[in-house]
Chains A and B, each alone.
Chain A
Amino acid sequence: MDDDAAARSEPRPRRTPGPLRLGGREFPPERALVMAIVNRTPDSFYRPGVTWDSGAALERVHAIVAEGADLLDIGGVPAKPGPEVTVTEEIRRLVPFIERVRAAYPELVISVDTWRHEPARAACEAGADLLNDTWSAWDPKVADVAAEFGAGLVCSHAGVALPRTRPHRAAFADVTADVLDRVLLLAGRALAAGVAADRIIIDPAHDFGKNSWHSLEVTRRLGELTATGWPVLMSASRKDFVGEALGVGVDDRLAGTLAATAVGAWLGARIFRAHDVLQTRQALDMVASIKADRPPTRTTRGLA
């Protein structure tokens, strides 16, 4: 655990708004991106096992690319508690698949959802462009791997939660302030480790070490995160805070997810991690059109 006094004296850097670079791609600030989820697990929370078979997983990749996904996020271990997945097993679930995707889609940005440096390294060797560490740098070496390979890094907040644990009576004097402090601390450490500034992303990590009230509050105040200049990743898709807000199960959370997505996009979040790529792309394009960040696709009504 951090020495609090030492951590207090570390910088909490902001960033001058600008492009986000991942892999060989450069994404301008106004462009909201869809990060499509493909889980290489038998037991993730939504549609468990649907992409456990590698053939099915590759089919899913074809589909999400066709639907307009900008990034692919591949994960080998579910976030919830359960049977242990060793580093060896996690690498087995990730690496051959990453190699196949990279071969089929040389330009697609590949993100890997991992919190341990060994799978992170193996994934980067196989061609991953971004390390999506949702457990708030539990392993500080993940940042070193990102720096070594010139990959991007997600700096996230998980409260006091250890990986694969649920929040038990999580409490914060000010959850948004706590999120900001943590993600900026990690951004500073990433810079110090040698990760390029234009490859760093921050993420409040909805529901990680936080209850639904906390996740709603962070969403409401997402503008405080986007104001830092760092690109903000919002991963809200079908999460429990949506389900608890509306009283619906995981299969019925699309509308609530898109509402949260629209609010996040309005407040300036840049990347949206989603199960439902087509609908998320449409929601983001609609918000961008309303914001005048994007011209409408085709306007002739009343204009002929």
Chain B
Amino acid sequence: MIVRAALCPSPPLLASGVSGQTLVIPELREACEAAVSWLLAAAPDEVTVVGPGAATATWPPDSAPDLSMHAPGLDRLPNRAPAPASALPPASPVLPASPVLPAPPLPLSLAIGAQLLDAVGYAGPRVLQSIAESASPAACRDLGRDLAADAPLTALLVIGDGTARRSAAAPGYLDDRAEPFDTVVEQAIRDGDLAALAALDPHLARDLLAAGRAAWQALAGAIAATTPARPRTRILYSDAPLGVAYLVATLDPTPMK
């Protein structure tokens, strides 16, 4: 069952060094670390990181997050801590009933999630699970249900981004539908309204570059499989300073005593 869940975004600039010499949006990083710390305070049996990727797959749990596809040359800079000796080369995912692919890199969402767990010092068991960005709402719900059944006390770190079309300066330029979409998502989280998350339109989400849709729907499926009640939630960050909507939240499915 899901004992606690947290939601964080995955801009590459959240990863160490990717924003260059300047620490951008420090309050976003602080909110993410606070959410993850809260997640771990429940002493879960395992932490499952779930986030969007090209395919639905379980990744080796000790996969090293590698942002070099977004920031080549970052690891060549002086004063970088050398990669730990145990860091593995890009690992093959375990795909259910599929041919083995030639070692694709860990999806960005899981890399960011793994880095956040490392940043707060989590050394316990972890599961890295990607969900296809294009997965149907039903498939997302079913994956969430499976994750909830995985271990007696599972903490879920859900990585998902809102729209990328919030302003003329946004990477996806301005689309007037973007802010209302993000507001629906934030309100659903705020209210613990899992049905509203499950009802998000995947086509609209894709048009608005809201990569988190599948992960939010997996989150909804996981919590619904744990408890019929609405989870108690807190929003730690909700803004789009660079035109991409970032939402940081905690979700507590356990009933009030």
Contacts and interface: CB of A to CB of B under 8 A. Distances in A.
A166 to B, nearest CB: 5
B173 A213 contact: no
B12 A169 contact: yes
B172 A166 contact: yes
Contacts of B209: 168
A174 B172 CA distance: 24
A171 B170 CA distance: 18
Contact of B71 (A82, A213, A220, A247): A213
Contact of A168 (B69, B72, B105, B164): B164
Interface of A is mostly: loop
B20 interface: yes
Interface string B234-257: 000000000010000000000000
B168 A81 contact: yes
A173 B72 CA distance: 9
A239 to B, nearest CB: 16
Given A81-B173, A247-B22, A169 B108 contact: yes
Interface string A104-133: 000000000000000000000000000000
A180 to B, nearest CB: 14
Contacts of B138: none
Contact of A211 (B22, B70, B108, B244): B70
A213 B74 CA distance: 8
Contact of A172 (B69, B73, B171): B69
Interface string B162-178: 00100010111100000
Interface residues of A, number: 21
A226 B208 CA distance: 39
B108 A171 contact: yes
Contact of B72 (A165, A169, A217): A217
Contacts of B22: 247
Interface of B is mostly: loop
Given A165-B173, A168-B209, A213 B72 contact: yes
Contacts of A213: 18, 70-74
A173 B74 CA distance: 14
Pick from B72, B105, B168, B171 the residue with the most CB of A within 10 Å. Answer: B72
A170 B70 CA distance: 6
Nearest to B22: A247
B217 to A, nearest CB: 21
Nearest to B169: A166
Contacts of B74: 213
B69 A173 contact: yes
Contacts of B70: 169-171, 211, 213
Nearest to A247: B22
Interface in A170-223: 170-175, 211, 213-214, 216-217, 220
A244 B72 contact: no
Contacts of B168: 81-82
Contacts of A29: none
A13 interface: no
A23 interface: no
A167 interface: yes
Contacts of B244: 168
A222 to B, nearest CB: 14
A168 B173 CA distance: 10
A189 B173 CA distance: 32
Contact of A220 (B11, B69, B73, B105): B73
A169 B173 CA distance: 14
B118 to A, nearest CB: 21
A244 B20 contact: yes
Given A173-B105, A247-B22, A168 B73 contact: no
A169 B168 CA distance: 17
A175 B74 CA distance: 14
Contacts of A173: 69, 105
A168 B245 CA distance: 13
A214 to B, nearest CB: 7
Contacts of B173: 81-82, 165-166
Nearest to B18: A213
Contacts of B164: 168
B172 A168 contact: yes
Interface string B66-80: 000111111000000
A167 B164 CA distance: 11
Given A244-B20, A247-B22, A175 B72 contact: yes
Given A168-B209, A169-B171, A244-B20, 14 more contacts: A165-B172, A166-B170, A166-B171, A166-B173, A167-B171, A168-B171, A170-B70, A171-B69, A172-B72, A173-B69, A174-B72, A211-B71, A213-B74, A247-B21
Closest 5 CB pairs of A and B: A171-B69, A168-B171, A81-B173, A213-B71, A217-B72
14 contacts: A82-B173, A165-B172, A166-B170, A168-B164, A168-B171, A168-B172, A168-B244, A169-B171, A170-B70, A171-B108, A172-B69, A172-B72, A213-B71, A247-B21
